[in-house]
Amino acid sequence: MPAAPSSLPPPDAAAKKAVRALSAPQKALRKLGLVRDMDLALHLPLRYEDETHITRLRDAREGDEVQIEGVVRHQEVAAGGRRQLLVTLDDGSGTCLLRFFNFYPSLMKQMAVGARLRVRGQLRSGLAGPVMLHPAVRAAGAPLPERLTPVYPATAALAQAYLRKAVQSGLARADASGQLGETVPPDLAAGMFAGLKGAAGVHPQSPPPTLREALFFLHQPPPDAPLAALQERVHPAWLRLKAEELLAQQLSQWRARQERAALAAPALHVRPDGLHEKLLAALPFALTAAQRRVSEEIARDLARPQPMHRLLQGDVGAGKTVVAALAACVAMDSGWQCALMAPTEILASQHFDKLTQWLAPLLQARGQRVAWLTGSQKKKERAAALQAIESGEAALVVGTHAVIQQQVNFARLGLAVIDEQHRFGVAQRLALRQKLAGQEPHLLMMSATPIPRTLAMSCYADLDVSTLDELPPGRTPVLTKLIASHRRGEVIERLRQQLRRGAQAYWVCPLIEESEALDLQSATQTHAELAAALPGLNVGLLHSRMPAADKKAVMDAFASGQMAALVSTTVIEVGVDVPNASLMVIEHAERFGLSQLHQLRGRVGRGSAASACVLLYEVPEGGRLGEVARERLKAMLETHDGFEIARRDLALRGPGEFLGERQSGAALLRFADLQQDEPLIEWARQAAPQMLARYPALAGQHVQRWLGARMDYLKA
Ligand code: ADP
Ligand code: MG
């Protein structure tokens, strides 16, 4: 061997070079994640076009998508008005006008008078008979395909014809090399459709098609295939693929669980006469039954020498913070540190204040303290905090995600609490775990956006979930009102009366600055306007572009009651807790998401005073509110239940909001639908542990087939 190994380029450079050598469509395939033959085989059609037969114009109806074959009788470029190419096609049973607004000389040549053409498109009625707008055109005479033509999800850089060929040959290669074999053992596959009571064309007892059968059916359906069942993805072939996908998801999450179970974590216990006991005694309220129950669930996990991964979900105002504080006490009682992270500085600083108030006196006796860590901190202050974290003097560290950045070295981190976890990205969570490699802390994630059941069952199967399903006593439900924006003046007048009586209010605006495109009321402008309309009252302004110190000053003034009204952008959306505030006005409520509206409304109704939430909405000029916007506002009027809101939100806009960044690492579910496919989710949940226990090799193959390189993200 003449060449020394060191003279070779590193492997990733070689890989980069190989990618550079790819053609543009090959690169486009890669972008879609279509690398292996199996990836191509699993790239399923969105819909189909029927090119298997020719329709005679006489038999075609208006609105039909048809393919006709005939001779060009006439061609002209009409110039009056918009330039267009008009071609008359005669198929012997009738004529049809083909109309093109975009055309090149080559197209005109192809459609010269006398040419025989096969065209396909939707038939519409025109002044002088049937018309087709921009039909697909090719020469007549080629043999007709025997199968429906699939249309695949593509990108602008990827022509359908190229993609179609790539998929068909990928499928053929995967088949030839034996990659389409069954991974799901027959005894588990047998029950796949058992929960599907009478779904279209599916008999629960009938054996599902094999993966190979299902794939060939979906990529090459016969002309008589039931198009509606395919379109709605309820055909057995679709159900088979969805079940396979859901099984892969369950398997990978079960595996993540098993891997975690093999890791070591400190076993944390409550100590008699420790912080946990002292905090409970010092709290100005008694825990609700739900708080006691979830605290016990958490304590049981913490006592195990394996890392906890638990999600604590509870509606806004359910009292998650104190549960987190109690968990932190368990860690500190056992001589370990706890880190508590929040997505915004406002929320983090509020947690810091509260936890300091509760715990600082107790920690001081032990020579320890609560440390504050954030990105906007002064260098010196940060250095001192880092020092205290490293020495262990800081038993509790509260901050934004700055806490989990590289330079932070915990002496003994035993528990990490992530508040409003859906706001944190996968990357940040990965960073947290890498940072602590070798020494796994317990992880408690908290969320005020309840995860709908089916989503919890599928995408969060690797987590344990605790639910706070009870609000602290004495809360009165928030009265919600929907008011058109032209009555804004009346709302301000009512607000003035309430504030004069000592109430406090939030006024939420969607954007910070005037944006011509969106024409939203800016917070700054609204602030000026309200300040003028409410003389003698202290009206503050809070938005995300203010320096952290200013934000804190404003929040403090509002929390202490010095400020009557707070005009704000959605920076107050998560977590902010000012129990005295009892009024919430949301401007342009029609522009907010449902969960977001629910979160915002949750800022009031936290104390004993009767609270109200006014949703100001604006109907576009000359139009009406969109369907989805109306559904959202209706839901806000109809329910206060976070789970019901979550369920409706999932129906309105899919799982994106719930998953947060969780979805971006891996398109977790491409085919299965959380609403529609619950019975298949149930099947996959039961099949996964059995498959891991009895057929571990097949389980590995199955996950590899479906998820390939995306595995890493699922563990985050
Ligand atoms: P969230 O679950 O939205 O994070 P918080 O932890 O901010 O809710 O709690 C909301 C408010 O309820 C806080 O002011 C908190 O002190 C108070 N609280 C929490 N638990 C109880 C309880 N058991 N009884 C009375 N008030 C409580
Ligand atoms: Mg909270």
Shortest-distance Cα residue to atom 24 of ligand 1: 472
Number of domains comprising the chain: 3
Per-residue b/e over 371-409, b at no fewer than 16 CB within 10 Å? Answer: bbbbeebeeeebeebbebbeebbbbbbbbbbbbbeeebe
> 139, 172, 195: which is the final residue of a domain?
139
d(CA 592, CA 582): 21
Gap from CA of 303 to ligand 2 centroid (Å): 25
| Chosen domain end from 402, 437, 468 | 468
Same domain? 433 vs 496: no
* Distance from the alpha carbon of residue 600 to the mean position of ligand 2, in angstroms: 12
**Same domain flag for 484 and 460:** no
Alpha-carbon gap, residue 633 to 616, rounded angstroms: 10
Any domain includes 538: yes
Ligand nearest to the CA of 602: 1
Mutate which of 279, 577, 578, 599 to test ligand 1's pocket (most atoms within 8 Å of Cβ)? 577
516 pLDDT band, cuts 50/70/90, is: very low
Ligand 1 nearest atom to the CA of residue 314, by list position = 2
pLDDT for the residue 309:
87
Q: Is residue 162 part of a domain?
A: no
Residue with the smallest CA separation from ligand 1 atom 19 is: 319
Nearest ligand by distance to the CA of 321: 1
Do 460 and 484 have their domain in common? no
Residue 407 Cα to ligand 2 middle (Å):
27
Find where tokens 């604590």 sit: 312
CA of 295 to the centre of ligand 2 (A): 15
Point out the ligand 1 atom lying closest to the alpha carbon of residue 419. Answer: 4
Residue pair 30/155 in contact (Cβ under 8 Å)? The answer is no
CA of 518 to the centre of ligand 2 (A): 31
**How far does the centroid of ligand 1 lie from the alpha carbon of residue 390, in Å?**
31
Ligand with an atom nearest the CA of residue 316: 1
Tell me which ligand sits closest to the C-alpha of residue 358. 1
pLDDT, one tens digit per residue, over 60-81 is 988 888 999 999 999 999 887 8
Read off the CATH number of the domain in which 91 is found. Answer: 2.40.50.140
Which residue from 291, 322, 574, 608 has its CB within 8 A of the most atoms of ligand 1, so it is best to mutate? Answer: 322
Specify if 567 maps to a domain: yes
**Which of 508-522, 553-567, 597-611, 698-712 is most confident?**
553-567
Separation CA 566–CA 541 (nearest Å): 6
Of 164-173, 191-200, 562-571, the one with minimum mean pLDDT is 191-200
If one compares 368 and 672, the residue with the highest pLDDT of the two is 368
Which protein residue has the closest C-alpha to ligand 1 atom 18? 319
Distance 427 CA to ligand 2 centre (A): 22
Rounded to the nearest angstrom, the distance between the alpha carbon of 126 and the centre of ligand 2 is 62
Q: 301 pLDDT band (50/70/90 cuts)?
A: very high
- Given a cut of 70, whether residue 604 has pLDDT beyond it is yes
The whole-model pTM stands at 0.72
Q: How far is the CA of 480 from the centre of ligand 2 (A)?
A: 22
Ligand nearest to the CA of 314: 1
Question: Which ligand has the nearest atom to the CA of 419?
Answer: 2
Residue nearest to atom 26 of ligand 1 (CA): 472
Q: Determine the distance separating the centroid of ligand 2 and the alpha carbon of 502, expressed in angstroms.
A: 25
- Give the structural domain span for 99: 53-139
Q: Which of 605, 639, 673 is the last residue of a domain?
A: 639
261 within some domain: no
Tell me what pLDDT residue 141 has.
Answer: 87
Q: In the chain, count H helices and then E strands.
A: 27, 21
Least confident among 39-53, 71-85, 128-142, 252-266: 252-266
Ligand positioned closest to the Cα atom of 323: 1
Q: Looking at the structure, do residues 446 and 588 belong to the same domain, yes or no? A: no
Cα-to-centroid distance, 508 and ligand 2 (Å): 19
Q: Whose CA is nearest to atom 27 of ligand 1?
A: 472
- Distance linking the first and last C-alpha atoms of the chain: 43
* Cβ neighbours of residue 127 closer than 8 Å, sequence gap 6 or more: none
Q: Same structural domain for residues 522 and 597?
A: yes
The per-residue pLDDT for 425 is 53
Residues 423, 500, single domain; the answer is no
Q: Express each pLDDT in 527-560 by its tens digit.
A: 999 999 999 999 999 887 788 888 889 989 999 9
* Same-domain check for residues 391 and 538: no
Cα 321 to ligand 1 centre (Å): 7
Q: Is pLDDT of 176 > 80?
A: yes
pLDDT digits 0-9 by tens, 655-709? 555 555 444 333 367 888 877 888 999 999 999 999 999 999 999 999 988 877 4
Say yes or no: 440 and 510 in one domain.
no
Contact indicator for 475, 288 with CB cutoff of 8 Å? no
557 with 414, same domain: the answer is no
Say if 400 falls within a structural domain. yes
User: To test the ligand 1 pocket, which listed residue (279, 280, 285, 574) has its Cβ within 8 A of the most ligand atoms?
Assistant: 285
Q: Closest Cα to atom 4, ligand 1: which residue?
A: 320
Q: Measured in angstroms, how far is the CA atom of residue 320 from the centroid of ligand 1?
A: 7
- Nearest ligand to the CA atom of 599: 1
Residue 671 forms part of a structural domain: no
CA distance 509 to 543: 10
Ligand 2 centroid distance, CA of 316 (Å)? 7
CA-proximal residue: ligand 1, atom 23 (nearest)? 287
Q: Is the pLDDT of residue 451 over 90?
A: no
Structural domain contains residue 685: no
Q: Which of 207, 168, 162, 204 is nearest to 186 (CA)?
A: 207
CA nearest ligand 1 atom 22, residue: 472
Nearest alpha carbon, ligand 1 atom 17: 319
453 residue type, one letter:
R
Claim to verify: residue 433 and residue 578 sit in the same structural domain: no
Query: For residue 517, what pLDDT band results from cuts at 50, 70 and 90?
Result: very low
Q: Which of 292, 321, 351, 419 to mutate to test the pocket of ligand 1 (most atoms within 8 A of CB)?
A: 321
Segment 555-571, tens digit of pLDDT: 899 999 999 999 988 76
Atom of ligand 1 nearest to the CA of 288: 23
**What size, in residues, is the chain?**
716
State the DSSP code for 460. T
Phi and psi of 566, rounded to 5°? Answer: -125, 110
Residues at CB less than 6 angstroms from ligand 1: 285, 287-288, 291, 314, 316-322, 448, 472, 575, 577, 579, 606
Mean pLDDT rounded to a whole number for the chain = 85
Distance 158 CA to ligand 2 centre (A): 46
* 522-556 burial code (b ≥16 CB/10 A, e <16): bbbebbeebbeebeebebbbbbeebeeeebbebbe
Q: Write the pLDDT tens digit of every residue in 11-62.
A: 566 667 776 778 888 888 888 888 889 999 999 999 998 889 899 999 998 8
> Quick one: 437 and 503 in the same domain?
no
Return the CATH number at 507: 3.40.50.300
pLDDT score of 666: 37
**CB-proximal residues (5 Å) to ion ligand 2:** 575
Q: Which atom of ligand 1 is nearest to the CA of 286?
A: 23
One domain for residues 566 and 442: no
Whether residue 627 lies inside any domain: the answer is: yes
